[in-house]
Amino acid sequence: MEILRLEAIHRTYRQGEAALDVLRGAEFALMPGEAVALVAPSGAGKSTLLHIAGLLERPDAGEVIVAGRGTSTLSDTERTRLRRDEIGFVYQFHHLLSEFSAVENVMLPQLIAGLDKSEAKKRAEQLLTWLGLPDRGTHRPTELSGGEQQRVAIARAVANAPRILFADEPTGNLDIVTSEQVFEALFKLIKATGLAALVATHNLELAAQMDRRITLRDGMIVEV
């Protein structure tokens, strides 16, 4: 069963009398355990697509279906709850909280969701170990390398066991070798857990390793 479906998504931005049609009936489906690369030029609407698919932004028209549930009629509170339960995000900048350790950063979303502190810490440590950081849990973000920071950000994004992960240029600030290490950790997580991932990236070599590649053309999603 599809974990995510976009149906006839439209999004237009207006500035004064000018209108920019970013999405014009875009359609897309994502399956569990599938890693899909979103490759498109800057300004084509990659971030807009991710924000709409991830329920951070509402489309002007169309439907976003998450885990079989339509979202167009949901209240903001219901959208927030669905996003918290089903969706994880990783960005180009890790956005880790500098005053907390790696383990504490991964614990935070679990504690917000109501998980017991000891269970949250146990899961955080397991995730960091899985992502190749077994000895870095007590380190703060400033004590970690760029690649380590991004792997902690991935662990935080999946801490509540979402079924969908959106990543917006997750290796954009990393060198080639570190980018490959981060992607390898991400792919390992996807295949082991059945997580579905849509990853926006300019790295064509890494995109070629994913299950599918899509792009945005004239406001529509097309397979590469």
Could you give the strand order of the β-sheet that contains 212-217, starting from the edge strand earlier in sequence?
Answer: 87-90, 164-168, 196-200, 35-38, 212-217, 220-223
- CATH number for the domain spanning 191: value is 3.40.50.300
pLDDT at 26: 94
Token pair for 197: 């991932």
174 located within any domain: yes
Is 160 part of a structural domain of the chain? yes
Q: Which one, of 170, 169, 163, lies nearest residue 149 by Cα?
A: 170
Would 120 be classed as within a structural domain?
Answer: yes
Q: Which domain holds residue 97?
A: 32-58+75-223
Whether residue 171 is contained in a domain is answered as yes
Quick: pLDDT tens for 51-100.
Answer: 999 999 999 999 999 999 999 999 999 999 899 889 998 887 778 899 99
Mean pLDDT of 168-188: 79
Are 187 and 133 contacting, i.e. CB atoms less than 8 angstroms apart? no
The secondary structure of residue 91, as a DSSP letter, is -
69 inside domain:
no
In a domain, 137, yes or no: yes
Q: What is the pTM of this model?
A: 0.87
Indicate whether 181 belongs to any domain: yes
Of 185, 145, 3, nearest in space to 85 by CA: 3
Cα 65 to Cα 11, 117, 144, 222: the distances in Å are 16, 32, 37, 19
As for how many domains the chain has, the answer is 1
